[in-house]
Amino acid sequence: MESSISLASNATMATTRTVMGCESDCTLPACGNGIQDPGEQCDDGNNVNADGCEADCTSPVCGNGIIDPGENCDDNNQITEKCPYGAASCAVCPSVIGVCGP
């Protein structure tokens, strides 16, 4: 009889854990669902980059490898490189977030 009480208790605990991680629309928390969950910097309801919230639910920043609005380039780092192949000028991403220039 004690084991049946223990099983019922364990089943209740498992159900409680599932409910606690459940969104109000009965889905599990996920990036791209339009609900900003713990660990997400943003969640705009889609999995598209360069629209103000990246597909991985992080905020856009210069150096993330994604050309976001206001950037002319983004080569996945915040190092200002020399112009490639001896070009006279080129666009580089400086360390100022979201601002690119010659």
Residue, of 52 and 72, whose pLDDT is higher = 52
Residue 11 has pLDDT above 50, yes or no: no
The percentage of residues in the chain with a pLDDT greater than 90, rounded to a whole number, is 33
Q: Which pair of structure tokens corresponds to residue 97? A: 């977030």
Whole-structure pTM value: 0.56
The answer to which of 3-17, 31-45, 64-78 has the lowest mean pLDDT is 3-17
Helix (H, G, I), strand (E, B) or coil at 101: strand
> What residue segments make up the domains of the chain, in order of their start?
1-60, 61-102
Mean pLDDT, all residues of the chain: 72
The owner of tokens 């210069």 is 62
Angle at 81 between CA 76 and CA 86, to 5 degrees: 125
Decide: 47 and 40 in contact? Cβ < 8 Å. no
CA gap 19, 11 in Å, rounded: 12
Alpha-carbon torsion, ordered 3, 7, 13, 19, to 10 deg: -170
Give tens-digit pLDDT for 23-66.
888 889 999 999 999 999 999 999 999 999 999 999 999 888 89
CA gap 13, 92 in Å, rounded: 54
